Amino acid sequence: MSASQDLWAIPLAKRLVDRFRSQKIAYIRVETGVYDEQTGTLPVTETRIEAAGAVVKSAKNERDGVQQDHEVEAWIDHTTVPWVVTTQDRIEYLGKSWKIVAIDPTYGSGGSGAVAASALLTLSGDTITTLSGDQLVLSSAEGAAPFNMYASKIIARAE
């Protein structure tokens, strides 16, 4: 079961990311397996997802003329990259590996009946609205369906 806004929000998130999607960005999902007592290691599995999103900003920060950070800001739609995205994962962009250092915000929906409704807010407390100015609300109900995630903004730093 899904929320009523899933009908327009999922395609909208994909369409917005598709508008600026880069074929040069790959999302690398990193998953650790079960600890192997005999070898003393944790196996790591990497899953590569090509053309994973849209890079919207690139920055090169310099401090004291010596230290430099290169960061990219990208939007990942969850039709292409299944949710959950984590800071354990990374991206590859323009031939470089980039460590995901922040995920903020992530947009999604959930609930199957309106017991309580509240405005959908960003982590900074701003109200999220549609292009026409309508406020997006989150409704919750006991036994509600899990969230459907639409898109996430990530910030990644060059390794």
What are the sequence ranges of the domains in the chain? 6-33+43-109+147-158
Closest CA to 120 of 132, 130, 128: 128
Percent of the chain with pLDDT over 70: 76
Q: Which residue has the higher pLDDT, 119 or 155?
A: 155
Whether domain 6-33+43-109+147-158 has CATH 2.60.40: the reply is: no
**Residue 115 CB neighbours (<10 A):** 10
Would you say residue 150 has pLDDT above 80? no
The DSSP line for the chain is ---TTHHHHHHHHHHHHHHH-BTTEEEEEEEE---BTTTTB--EEEEEEES-EEEEEEEEEEETTTEEEEEEEEEEETTTS-S---TT-EEEETTEEEEEEEEEEEEEE--SS-SEEEE-B-TTSPBPB-TTSPBPEEEE-TTPPPPEEEEEEEEEEE-
- Could you give phi then psi for residue 30, rounded to 5 degrees? -110, 120
- List, for residues 72-108, the tens digit of each pLDDT value: 888 888 888 888 888 889 999 988 899 999 888 766 6
pTM for this model (two decimals):
0.63
User: What one-letter code names the amino acid at 93?
Assistant: Y
**Cβ atoms 10, 150 nearer than 8 A:** yes
